[in-house]
Amino acid sequence: MSTLTFAQEIQEGIPTHIPLEKPWDLHVNHAPKRKDILSKEEKKLAIANALRYFPKDQHVELAKDFAEELKTFGRIYMYRYRPTHAIFARPISEYPGKSTQAKAIMLMIQNNLDHAVAQHPHELITYGGNGAVFQNWVQYRLTMKYLSEMNDEQTLVMYSGHPMGLFPSHKNAPRVVVTNGMMIPNYSKPDDWEKFNALGVTQYGQMTAGSYMYIGPQGIVHGTTITVLNAVRRMAKNRDDIKGKLFLTAGLGGMSGAQPKAGNIAGVISVTAEVNPKAAKTRHEQGWVDEMITDLDELVFRVKKAQSSKEVVSIAYLGNVVDVWEKFDESGVHVDLGSDQTSLHNPWAGGYYPAGLSFDEANDLMSNDPEKFKTYVQESLRRHAASVNKHTEKGTYFFDYGNAFLLESSRAGGDVMAENHIDFKYPSYIQDILGPMCFDYGFGPFRWVCASGNPEDLAKTDAIACRVLEEMMLNSPVEIQQQMADNIQWIKGAQENKMVVGSQARILYADAEGRMRIAEAFNQAIAKGEIGVVILGRDHHDVSGTDSPYRETSNIYDGSRFTADMAIQNVIGDSFRGATWVSIHNGGGVGWGEVINGGFGMLLDGSADADRNLKMMLHWDVNNGIARRNWARNENAIFAIKRAMEIEPNLKVTLPNLVDDQLLNGLF
Ligand SMILES: NC(=O)c1ccc[n+]([C@@H]2O[C@H](COP(=O)([O-])OP(=O)(O)OC[C@H]3O[C@@H](n4cnc5c(N)ncnc54)[C@H](O)[C@@H]3O)[C@@H](O)[C@H]2O)c1
């Protein structure tokens, strides 16, 4: 047992002596064994790569240990280097170091690995099954050491979890620049990522995992509430009409666990299927889902009762979602709203559990016979799609929740393609809901963390944000009044909903003006000593940060949704406008190779520099995406960018001229 204090252990970095092996902790949710993908030669390379962190006299012992890990888990996590200190977002004052900005980043890294927050904390996975902060524990140790040593004239460079080192820069440069999973495009295929990850040279950073901006499931509750609420609004004329509507979906994991809570806030009955008993239990114990049912007949009985008495209730079904879709069809249970949040961005390594196999059987097959497992997944997806189709024929509104359900179902041969054989039968939640209603206007998942760790600071920031939005609402155009009202309602209920898990964080959908005005008001409150320093950020799943043809940019119809200029421009632009750290990832949400996404973090310390940076950077961070959405001829974005140009005379954006369809039809 180490006798070092927290600060000393951070400053120590990689210990000089090899630590004792750590016992396997059964209480922790561990990542499934990864596919054995490396050849014998490649395995040697993986071990050599891992040993680069250690002096030669330790290689014999460590080589054996790492080879064993590679064999048992398919990856080298360097478990024995897990620190002895508890990992969670401590008050910023407890982090050792010379740079407050670097301390803010340490706090955010620790939050992403907190046992209460992270999905597989010992494998350094924050969410989504494979969203990694680091590839191994030595990278964690080395990064924390660098952060504790650096000053404000240095920048730490992070290559997919590996800290390449500190480089001289300047005060207004980012303190950390993160890249994750960036590949040469011709080597960016599923087996390539598995292989290069197993070699220890790249990692899947998801969106906010490898960028240190995950704030627990709260982030997703807000977005999910907005989505479910607006999806329900499409079917129901008023609040009363919403009562008794049934929402069927799957997944009680990192993000998907927010669905039952969102269902309750939106006022519907929700059934969420989950195959992993540990995940379901966690959400039940947290109070995020009201009831747990393990038997399908009992589920049908309970749902019919809830429908007839128009209850608002959330039910977890412990089992496979395909069975629920099929059972509801046979039993005549009408589903009003349907979706799916299994981790289909990661279909072959535990993201999707096929029907017909128990949870344990699936886990065994996945690692022992990956090819056979793949055929089970594909068969299950075909059944899944067929059953959803039966329901939609009876009136269910089904939408893809950005988890690549339609994409993978189509690849598996499921009946999900539209008649034109190009589009899917069903819209993505971005095409119908978040894209036109939020992103095109600049509304997206702005967030902040009170670095003092004091809940009172969070309550004060909530009150400040609410005041700013209410002031803005008085003069906001009718086009965005509904958004403003939803966001005010959210922030008013935020304290009551008790959604803080981990750091003292808050999420709030806001547009460019809202984000700037709220941040400015925080900075003033910090300057006056009313609150401690605040870290700003956002989900990558936003207006400008992400190019993802089947998700964030799925409502871009000019052909450019398969390009990634916007995300790259965004992170470059943020980095020279004052971001404290920036990140750019290949993959996130829908899977490696399917998306390029970027984000930022920014420390507000009450200074004039912070005031200048926040205005410059947040303005760009939102308006970049609105400009692009406007150029794609999205009506609401054209409105929003014209409005932004009226407010800021230095903004001059190219506007599109619209073409008459009849002219085009006459050409060919
Ligand atoms: N919530 C959002 O706003 C949002 C937005 C975009 C995309 N997504 C996507 O949603 C997916 C889920 O994210 P997550 O963080 O919750 O992942 P996760 O891996 O933590 O959770 C998924 C859960 O689904 C369960 N599951 C898998 N197959 C199942 C099946 N057939 N039946 C029942 N349960 C099954 C798993 O056991 C797991 O607990 C990801 O692909 C993510 O990218 C979510």
Mutate to test the pocket of ligand 1, among 226, 252, 256, 501 (most ligand atoms within 8 A of CB): 256
Report pLDDT for 239: 63
User: Which residues lie closer than 8 Å to 313 by C-beta, 6 or more apart?
Assistant: 264, 269, 270, 290, 291, 306
Nearest CA to ligand 1 atom 7: 402
Q: What is the mean pLDDT of residues 597-603?
A: 98
Q: What is the mean pLDDT of residues 376-380?
A: 98
Q: Is the pLDDT of residue 68 over 80?
A: yes
Report pLDDT for 237: 65
Residue 127 CA: which ligand 1 atom is closest? 15
Residue 259 CA: which ligand 1 atom is closest? 1
Centre of ligand 1 from the C-alpha of residue 251, in Å: 5
Q: Is 478 helix (H, G, I), strand (E, B) or coil?
A: helix
Selection from 147, 157, 41 nearest residue 97 by Cα: 147
Centre of ligand 1 from the C-alpha of residue 341, in Å: 4
Nearest CA to ligand 1 atom 25: 251
Centre of ligand 1 from the C-alpha of residue 409, in Å: 15
Which tokens in the block code for residue 130? Answer: 């494979």
Residue corresponding to tokens 């700013």: 468
Q: Is the pLDDT of residue 548 over 80?
A: yes
Q: What is the pLDDT of residues 333-371, one digit of tens each?
A: 999 999 999 999 889 989 999 999 999 999 999 989 999
**Cα–Cα distances in Å, from 4 out to 13, 130, 141, 147, 519?**
12, 31, 14, 18, 38
**Half-sphere exposure of 408 toward its Cβ, with a 13 Å CA cutoff?**
31
Residue 359 CA: which ligand 1 atom is closest? 37
- The span from the CA of 395 to the CA of 477, in Å, is 34
DSSP letter for 419, please. Answer: T
Q: Is 167 helix (H, G, I), strand (E, B) or coil?
A: strand
Q: Is 231 helix (H, G, I), strand (E, B) or coil?
A: helix
- The span from the CA of 132 to the CA of 130, in Å, is 6
Centre of ligand 1 from the C-alpha of residue 214, in Å: 16
Determine contact, residues 171/152, Cβ cutoff 8 Å: yes
- The span from the CA of 69 to the CA of 200, in Å, is 13
Centre of ligand 1 from the C-alpha of residue 387, in Å: 19
Report pLDDT for 2: 62
Report pLDDT for 23: 93
Q: Is the pLDDT of residue 240 over 80?
A: no
Selection from 311, 321, 297, 457 nearest residue 381 by Cα: 321
Nearest CA to ligand 1 atom 21: 253
Q: What is the pLDDT of residues 464-509, one digit of tens each?
A: 999 999 999 999 999 999 889 989 989 998 888 778 989 999 999 9
- The span from the CA of 489 to the CA of 389, in Å, is 35
- The span from the CA of 502 to the CA of 88, in Å, is 7
Centre of ligand 1 from the C-alpha of residue 240, in Å: 30
Q: Is the pLDDT of residue 238 over 80?
A: no
Determine contact, residues 626/638, Cβ cutoff 8 Å: no
Which tokens in the block code for residue 171? Answer: 């005060």
Lining residues, ligand 1, CB within 6 Å: 119, 127-129, 220, 223-224, 250-256, 273-276, 279, 320-321, 341-345, 351-353, 401-403, 589
User: Which residues lie closer than 8 Å to 285 by C-beta, 6 or more apart?
Assistant: none
Residue 343 CA: which ligand 1 atom is closest? 41
Nearest CA to ligand 1 atom 37: 276
Residue corresponding to tokens 């210990």: 15
Backbone angles phi, psi at 398, to 5 degrees: -110, 135
Relative orientation angle of helices 481-497 and 218-235, to the nearest 10 degrees: 130
Residue corresponding to tokens 């620190």: 83
Report pLDDT for 243: 87
Nearest CA to ligand 1 atom 5: 402
Centre of ligand 1 from the C-alpha of residue 458, in Å: 29
For residue 406, the Cα-to-chain-centroid distance in whole angstroms is 19
For residue 81, the Cα-to-chain-centroid distance in whole angstroms is 27
Determine contact, residues 573/509, Cβ cutoff 8 Å: no
- The span from the CA of 49 to the CA of 55, in Å, is 13
Mutate to test the pocket of ligand 1, among 343, 400, 538 (most ligand atoms within 8 A of CB): 343
Its pTM stands at: 0.87
Q: Is the pLDDT of residue 215 over 90?
A: yes
Which tokens in the block code for residue 108? Answer: 């955010």
Report pLDDT for 319: 97
Residue 590 CA: which ligand 1 atom is closest? 43
Mean pLDDT of all residues belonging to the chain: 95
Report pLDDT for 1: 54
Residue 136: count other Cβ atoms within 10 Å of its Cβ: 26
Report pLDDT for 234: 74
Centre of ligand 1 from the C-alpha of residue 62, in Å: 35
- The span from the CA of 77 to the CA of 88, in Å, is 19
Selection from 347, 301, 289 nearest residue 327 by Cα: 301
Nearest CA to ligand 1 atom 40: 343
Range in 178-192, 459-473, 557-571 with the lowest mean pLDDT: 178-192
Q: What is the pLDDT of residues 70-100, one digit of tens each?
A: 999 999 999 999 999 999 999 999 999 999 9
Residue 352 CA: which ligand 1 atom is closest? 28
Beta-sheet pairing, 246-250 with 337-338 = parallel
Report pLDDT for 622: 98
**Cα–Cα distances in Å, from 610 out to 113, 211, 446, 530, 613?**
28, 21, 17, 17, 5
Determine contact, residues 269/311, Cβ cutoff 8 Å: yes
Mutate to test the pocket of ligand 1, among 342, 401, 594 (most ligand atoms within 8 A of CB): 342
Report the share of the chain in percent with pLDDT over 70: 99
**What strand order describes the sheet that includes 313-318?**
291-293, 313-318, 269-274, 246-250, 337-338, 397-398
Report pLDDT for 291: 97
Strand partners, 46: none
Q: What is the pLDDT of residues 9-39, one digit of tens each?
A: 999 999 999 999 999 999 999 998 998 999 9
